[in-house]
Amino acid sequence: MAPPAVRLSDVCRRLHESKELRWRLLILFAFAVGSLTASAGSLSNEHNWQLLFWYSALLVVSAQFSDTVAAFFVGEGSSIMDNVRHILYGVEYGSMVMVSPGSKHSQEARRSVGFWTLMPSAFITWIFAKSINNAAVLGGRFGILGGVAYAGWYTSFWAAGFVGYWLRTRHGVRSLPQVIEKVFGSSANVCFGLALFFRLWNEVWSNIIVVAQFYGAPYSKPWWVAAIISASVPATYVFMGGMRASLVSDVLQAALALIFLFVILGRIGHEMGSATPSEDIWEWEPPTGWLPGGGWCLLAALLQGFVSYPFHDPVLTDRAFLSRPRTMLAALFVGGAISMMFIILFSAVGIYACYITNSVGNGAPTVVSSHLGGVMESFITLVMMTSSLSTLDSTFTSSAKLFALEMMGHLKLPGDKRPPDVRGPLTARDASVNAIHVALGRVAILFVCVLGTIFLEVGRETDALKATTVSGTMVMGLGPPVYLACFWKYNSTPGAADGWRKAPLAFLGSFCPGVVFGICYAAATWRVPDPTLKRALESVAMGEGMYDKFLGWNVVGHCVCLAGSLIGFAIHQLFKLGSPVDAEATVEAPVTGHRVPRAGYEMVAATELQDKSAAADAVFDRVAGADAKTVDVKALTDYLVQSKMPLEHVQMTMNALSVNEESTIDRLEFQTGFNPALMPRISAMA
């Protein structure tokens, strides 16, 4: 179907009616004033300041506005092209689909987060400014092995993808906090929320300082100006558009980051090739050789990456619950592989820094940018800027979801449609989520932005690598309970009491020791380390080099956390503490993402799905007669008895299957879902 003709008068009218346009023009004007101020003022590196202003302006002005729950928290909604069509043709969002109604590009598919949106978003949001800075630093210590070692943490993509896929398709879980609440209880979920908040706060300050270092000495006036701008810009456009603004901007930033990286590598390769034609960047070594211990650092990274590190980062785990399950899994696996490649390649910057100084250990990107100067300095700055802003916008969207949905879900806010006794984490799909939660999410964005920036003054921390090593050690206790939740045995039917009991100690027995290990590690490696804790770290060192204590402490800590989780779980099951846990009534189909009834929960699913025919079909497959057209009454009777359905669910099943009063079912014994005693026999069904 061809689009309607464009009329200039209609375009002008729609532009005039657009509230978004006025805000965009106002913001653009503010950036223009800032750019002129940088040009006329006394700030050094004027071209870098112009890059910061105008790149930020591009992201803010092109950001999506979101006023719906689905757009703000899930990222569904109109695209940039939808906005263009609306302005040019007056087409309302979603009303003009240029494909046949039954094709895979239906309106539902267009609203969903697809592979080519989710994959680059996942990739770029984990190319933190601090991460590529750390990759260069480790490259300056261990050569290419340093880049490979830091890429070890990026196995987190695969761990998060597997866990998200399994929880969605096997257990019907809609978010990680939801399953923590379900199987470990509210106390565990509060601790989990604190761990997520700790991670988000870490990401804010650690990514800010990496960008700020290109604009001045630490804590100088230019440094502070750059830090505030790099924090406030992503907070601004995520405040406007939430997850939708973050996802759309991530696609642009991912493409730019890859382009900038290959331009930088090409220039470095050319510089080294001109000076030493017999060696390339990956073969060169400093006169004294690389530092020992790169392989031990890699082992520590793999341990954290597979076991615990991914689960304390809602930026990553939130994306494991977007899109369709198989699309998500492919996006995280491919995005993780690209991220690893990016990190390994960027370690060449650290190697080149050592080549410039003819020494080992100084792989800071600022050394390379200052040496190359001119356009290449701008490219390196742009890589850092792109990675910082893309990470921060995802950090702010996750902060909004964590606070507004998962923490505030424990309160009864206006418009909450849940029963009075039901509390706990919400998801964006819940009917109780409304504009109040969107407003709370925006408050959370501002709060985390301000708190992370204030820490720069209070903490006086400039080592971004600690945001990885310390935070990863602090949350080593998350892995065992999360993997335990993946293989949890739920009640076979609602109230059957044949599943595992809710086990808060299985979470706390792992999480609390992990926090203790993390605090001790931080205290032993701080600027003024505690001597007793420092000796404790030395006593468990494994391997050699500067990360031997880090590896040993993590191996011991992970073993303690695993043991604590298993002991806590055993206490609940052996002493029958807590109640057996019902499963979610529906799970996600791997390919389509549609909710389908779980075996044994079909009629509960009918209520949830508002579609009794879907549940009836699931029951019919189990009780159909030999002709596959009629109901085998004995099979149906056996099914109802074994499923221990409540009386009202029995009647709903009868009605859904069109089993009428002329059926031969005249005597049926069954149990309710909450009372193990046999109910009186029903003879009125005949």
CATH code assigned at 55: 1.20.1730
- The whole-number average pLDDT for the span 253-277 is 80
Together in a domain, 562 and 631: no
Greatest mean pLDDT among 360-364, 393-397, 599-603: 393-397
User: In this structure, are residues 498 and 491 in contact, taking their beta carbons and an 8 Å threshold?
Assistant: yes
> Is 235 within the bounds of a domain?
yes
* pLDDT band at residue 552 under the 50/70/90 scheme: very high
Domain stop point among 552, 578, 604: 578
Residues contacting 519, CB < 8 A, separation 6+: 474
Together in a domain, 533 and 385: no
> Is 447 within the bounds of a domain?
yes
Higher-confidence position of 81 and 294? 294
Together in a domain, 178 and 278: yes
Higher-confidence position of 637 and 399? 399
> Is 685 within the bounds of a domain?
no
Together in a domain, 313 and 356: yes
Range(s) of the domain holding residue 443:
8-96+107-474
**pLDDT of amino acid 31:** 63
**Percent of the chain beyond pLDDT 70?**
74
**pLDDT of amino acid 160:** 96
Which of 475, 407, 479, 482 is CA-nearest to residue 437? Answer: 407
Q: pTM for this structure?
A: 0.77
Together in a domain, 130 and 23: yes
Q: How many domains does the chain have?
A: 3
Higher-confidence position of 553 and 594? 553
Together in a domain, 153 and 132: yes
Together in a domain, 359 and 329: yes
Domain stop point among 560, 578, 596: 578
Together in a domain, 411 and 533: no
Concatenate the DSSP letters of all residues of 607-621 into one string. Answer: HHHT-HHHHHHHHHH
* pLDDT band at residue 581 under the 50/70/90 scheme: very high
> Is 144 within the bounds of a domain?
yes
Together in a domain, 431 and 571: no
Together in a domain, 509 and 623: no
Domain stop point among 519, 549, 578: 578
> Is 522 within the bounds of a domain?
yes
Together in a domain, 525 and 598: no
Residue 568 has pLDDT above 80, yes or no: yes
DSSP run (H or E) holding 586: strand 586-588
Together in a domain, 76 and 34: yes
> Is 494 within the bounds of a domain?
no
Higher-confidence position of 644 and 384? 384
**pLDDT of amino acid 642:** 55
Q: What is the Rg, in whole angstroms, of the alpha carbon atoms belonging to the chain?
A: 28
| DSSP label of 152 | G
User: In this structure, are residues 493 and 601 in contact, taking their beta carbons and an 8 Å threshold?
Assistant: yes
